[in-house]
Structure 1
């Protein structure tokens, strides 16, 4: 398996960044295209939210693609960004997108949480009691209801706005064959939807290969789907996932890197 590639499932530009991070450690990477993100056509509901945007007190953005959709809409409707809104992101990539496109400060999960997840974001004190504050949650269709349900339970006057959909794709025949034969060094997945969709093509050979996931929640899901060797990365960033790939594919190199970190 030493000459086999690492398979990654992250779509779009974030997948490119992940591929570069893994390749920087000397591993071949192949993109496993099983999910496409598609913007939703602007609806009357979306227009109403954008026109009323300055009335929101807090805006929570679920992903980098949601952040891009938000920024494009605000560019059309608000040439000058409304003030007095606090922005929140589940992960660093989403925060970076908001900062780059809107120039806003973004609240992230506390560093002590050690993970990028909805659960970690909800530990922020500023989201603990919302007292009928107007909160906008910008997300894709479907997905986990945890954030929306918890914010509403905490008193938010919540609007959940879907701005994109996830379109599952069948793997190309060559990739289906790789999965059938387990011909890869590791599989990297940081989305539960992708993992559930992908599992139907994973034979016993694939289920026994290393699977890199970005959270303990995904590791639990992987176990239920039959994956026997899930490895939890320290986060969903390209660097964290690439480090987990090294840990799986070359434990000796990972130990050396960890020793260097401890000495530093």
Structure 2
């Protein structure tokens, strides 16, 4: 049962992949709201396991291992650690603090990561990946299929040898959007939280004219300016840019001037 709080009476979609949805959903409940967990991305192992297996075999050759997301860590670490302990000389890096926490839970400490903005640009600003530190080093980037090439391209420009290892793949929601449409029709959907531009594109593509009209009127809380830009490019306008991560999204939800 929800407690009484600033989100009492509000149903809010949590669209993170299922494995990462619980913390935000629990925070919404603690604030009195009702979370509707509806992952916009489904995560599954990479179609080809060989690149990850090869990276595991030569793990000690790398100076830096970057995990793009918690999903990357979740899918890579069981393979990387199956035959050997984490090499002492290998510096772990992450884009977000959730990934740092996950690595620490697996016994991998000393992770470098941004502390304010959680994106490739912020990671590239860290002194440990400056050109004079990374030139001549071998870097592994563990990531999903597709995605941005900025990190890999920039590290190569700085003189590093970079291997990009796909360890999971993303797809849109296989169950369709009927739960969202039903909630909208009955007036039981007050806001969406969206942490992935790709997931938002899947949602827009899956919605018919009725669903897109509902989406256009629904507040969309996003934790990164790039997602907000992509939302506007998709024709959406009711966009609330929050601070980063779950804490930022929750703060934005609590501060919002909800209609009576």
In the superposition, the TM-score normalised over structure 1's length comes to 0.86
Aligned length: 246
Structure having the higher helix fraction is 1
1:165 aligns with 2:179: no
What's 1:152 paired with? Answer: 156
CA distances 1:97-151 after superposition (whole Å, capped 9, x unpaired): 1111133211111x4xx32111111111211212121000000111122211211
What's 1:87 paired with? Answer: 92
1: CA distance, partners of 2:103 / 2:53: 20
Equivalences for 1:90-129 in 2 at 5 Å? 90-109=95-114, 111=115, 114-129=116-131
8 Å Cα contact 1:2/1:185 also seen in 2: no
Match of 1:184 among 181, 189, 201: 189
1:247 aligns with 2:252: no
8 Å Cα contact 1:185/1:249 also seen in 2: no
What's 1:228 paired with? Answer: 237
What's 1:208 paired with? Answer: 217
CA distances 1:185-212 after superposition (whole Å, capped 9, x unpaired): 1100001110111123242232122101
C-alpha displacement of 1:233 = 1.5
Give the unaligned 5+ runs of structure 1.
252-264
C-alpha displacement of 1:74 = 2.3
8 Å Cα contact 1:181/1:203 also seen in 2: no
C-alpha displacement of 1:232 = 1.4
C-alpha displacement of 1:235 = 0.4
Cα gap change, 1:7/1:127 in structure 2, threshold over 3 Å: closer, same or farther?
Answer: same
Give the unaligned 5+ runs of structure 2.
1-6
What's 2:74 paired with? Answer: 68
What's 1:259 paired with? Answer: none
2: CA distance, partners of 1:36 / 1:140: 12
Q: CA RMSD in A?
A: 2.1
